[in-house]
Amino acid sequence: MSELWRKSALELAAMIRGREVSSREVVQAHLDRVEAVNPHVNAIVRLLPEQALAAADEADRLAADGTWLGPLHGVPFTVKENIDVAGTPTTQGVPALAEAIAPVDAPPVERLRAAGAIAFGRTNLPDFALRVHTDSALHGLTRNPWNPQRTSGGSSGGEAAALATGMSPLGLGTDLGGSLRNPAHCCGVVSLKPSTGAVPSATVIPPEDMTISNQLMDVEGVMARRIADVRAGFTAIAGQHPRDPLSVPAVFTDLAPGERPKVAVLPEPPGGAPHRRRARGRWLQGHRGRTARLRAGGRVVGHDPRR
């Protein structure tokens, strides 16, 4: 079972439900992976091994009785250290908050646990999550797992690096100006920024009331190595919550029978294509080919949605 860390969150959930593997084995495999890999990237800054293994044993006990908590029963996950996890500090990456211990979970953590998932670690972020590069005064630099001389992105760079290296199959991060999307791009994993209010957010660490800019733009969301895992995580955490008056009853619906997904395509990304002539030519050729295939399938909404 040494390769369990390679599996996606939903693959692990299916294996646990099929009794191919226990939750304890899955959690232990990821703890072992953290021990082997994390010293090279510094993505996970706090482990919760005793609590996680105890939760895994309880998940296995329930499974033996035929009781399943939810679609992520027994699957481990990690949480960026600006989201409350009961009994651990919400440090925001700064020494002043190193002992700011939250007594209760944030709503997304609460809901992932309700879906059966097991929190086992906290991940790095830049100070107060205000940079696109993950280097904190409290925990130091998180390195890109593909190239240590490149950035892991930010501000959820610790989460992205943990996922990319197989230390975690599923994670929670935040996004105001790209903090889920940017590190997912840098580390080759998957995420999306949920619409404001789709995922409830709340903290017990002062200041509990968000600034107006955070109310309008800051969200919490799911990261993973597979799109299906992001979907499963989002489905688990979305919707109204009594602690967040801005939250809405978001419902993630499937396409109707025969309905095709549609894609809006930019001729070039904001800021332009790769600047080197040879790289730019290759990029444009590939981009035009992908666009043509999408258009042939009737899936392109508009070639340039900026107009």
Q: List the catalytic residues.
A: 80, 155, 179
Residue type, 161: A
Residue 201: C-alpha distances to residues 61, 119, 174, 307 (Å): 31, 17, 10, 34
Identify the H or E element spanning 131: none
CA–CA separation, 278 and 173 (whole Å): 36
Nearest to 171 by CA among 124, 114, 240: 124
Nearest to 28 by CA among 2, 10, 60: 2
User: Which letter does DSSP use for residue 132 in this model?
Assistant: S
Conformation bin of residue 209: beta by default, left when phi > 0, alpha when psi is -120 to 50: beta
Residues in contact with 41: Cβ distance below 8 Å, sequence separation at least 6, in sequence order: 142, 143, 144, 145, 148, 152, 161, 162, 165
